[in-house]
Amino acid sequence: MTLVVDNKWGDETRPGPSHVAIIMDGNGRWAAERRLPRVEGHRRGVEAVRRVVEASRDLGVTHLTLFSFSSENWSRPAKEISDLFGLLRRFIRRDLADLHKNGVRIRIIGSRGGFDADIQRMLDDAVELTKDNGTLHLTIAFNYGSRNEIMRAAERFAEDIKAGVRAPGDMTEDLFGAYLDTNELPDPDLLIRTSGELRLSNFLLWQLAYAEFVFVDTYWPDFDKADYEEALAEFRRRNRRFGGRSVRSMA
């Protein structure tokens, strides 16, 4: 599906999303259609990340969460996984200084096991270096699966019960959210998925309960600021009810 936008910004009287989550999909198909190696699709996907991070600051988005590497991606061929990690290393080495200079704070969510120690150190260093920044909160979902995140949160709560820190009756939605990887973040307002796929793929299942979903046909390597603006315009046209009455009728 291709979004049809009546004007550039949609209803400008409505606020845009503060927190945008993106499932960056279509790198492999982009490369296959051009008869290029899959790694070239991933490399061009990194360029799209740079564009979207820069555009987020321009468009008033304060939180951006990107689905980078899922816990299910380990089933891919070893060569492709190695290529992906190589691109991640180059991205951090090349872009971290600029991200820090521009006030971007980096967070990493997901399981910390299963990848090389140097990757872990680089991610930890990026988080530490940028921890006091606040222009844009960039969260990278790396080795992430939402079901695993929820299970780990439940395990931590059970451990606190065993330690006497919590009682079983203490549980509320807000309290459970404090045990999730995203505990310091607001829930996303908007989810964008590229490449025409219409599913969540185990991404932020708890946090996306009231987010607006926008699915676009564009492959991730081709996603640019115009596509981003188009998705934000669609968000502004939505009538968000949050399980209750129309926002307009409540005004």
DSSP helix/strand/coil, 7: coil
CA distance 167 to 39: 49
Domains of the chain, residue spans: 19-145+189-237
Its pTM stands at 0.90
Q: pLDDT digit string (tens) for 137-147?
A: 999 999 999 99
Which are the catalytic amino acids? 25, 73
Q: pLDDT digit string (tens) for 56-102?
A: 999 999 999 999 988 888 788 888 888 888 898 999 999 999 999 99
pLDDT of 134 reads 95
Q: Residue 64: CB partners within 8 Å, gap ≥ 6?
A: 19, 20, 21, 22, 52, 53, 56, 136, 137, 138, 139
pLDDT of 69 reads 86
Low-confidence ranges of the chain (pLDDT < 50): 1-9, 247-251
The CATH code of domain 19-145+189-237 reads 3.40.1180.10
pLDDT of 227 reads 98
Token match 């009455």: residue? 245
CA distance 233 to 226: 10
